[in-house]
Amino acid sequence: MAARKRPWLAWLPAVILSVVIVGVLVVAGVLIRGGLGQPTPKPTEGQVTELNWSSFTEAGLEYIRSSRDVRIDLSRPPVEAAPIGLEPDATLVLERIDNLDVQLDYDLILNGGGEGAGGLRLTASEIRITTVGGLLTSVEADLVDVLPFRQALDRFERESESFGWSLDRDAIFAMVEEATRAGEPYEVTAGPSDRVGLTLSATAFCDTSGYCALTYTAAPAG
């Protein structure tokens, strides 16, 4: 005799599907409210400087959190801290923005006014801005991507023409081989150079697995 099928079992797949759909809609709603997928909001008065560069006042930081746009002009050194809302001696950290399971990145534009592109644009997970004696001295940006060592080195070599870096590939591979044999982490730095009108370098911080986190460091030239 065939087993009698319980009526409520026929509804179970539909119920599960409904729960999944509701869950997706809830997550999507939270992400949208957090700004994901929406156009960059226009700044209101006081959220940026008169020339539309980032301001790091309370109002400016609120705009940065909502837009995730960071724009810094390093083309006219020295760069004074006070006019852009920075403390005279401090490091301002724009930390990673986590929205549930999604990490929201910063779009960083650094103006140098030099050759070629006259600066650079980076997608960063964290940004650190340091001031000393009332002047902006450095901007450090941790990139989103974690790359295998060879891909990190290839990136630096591709950028060397634009940024004016010089890399000794043989010396780098010798250092990496020695560190790998010793089971130790290692670092590879490209630059500094001021070809794009600001002083720029990049460092790959690599662990023993051979994967590297990249940090770009910029400062006013001179």
| Least reliable range by pLDDT among 37-41, 208-212, 217-221 | 37-41
| Range(s) of the domain holding residue 82 | 58-142
Report whether pLDDT(12) > 60: no
Residues 125 and 159 in one domain: no
| 1 is a domain residue | no
Count of domains forming the chain = 2
- The per-residue pLDDT for 140 is 98
Q: What's the confidence (pLDDT) of residue 117?
A: 74
Per-residue pLDDT of 109-162, as tens digits, reads 999 987 777 899 999 999 999 999 999 999 999 999 899 999 999 999 999 999
pLDDT tens sequence across 173-184? 999 999 999 999
Range in 31-45, 50-64, 149-163, 195-209 the model is least confident about:
31-45
The CA distance from 154 to 188, in Å, is: 12
183 and 197 assigned to the same domain: yes
pLDDT at residue 2 tops 60 = no
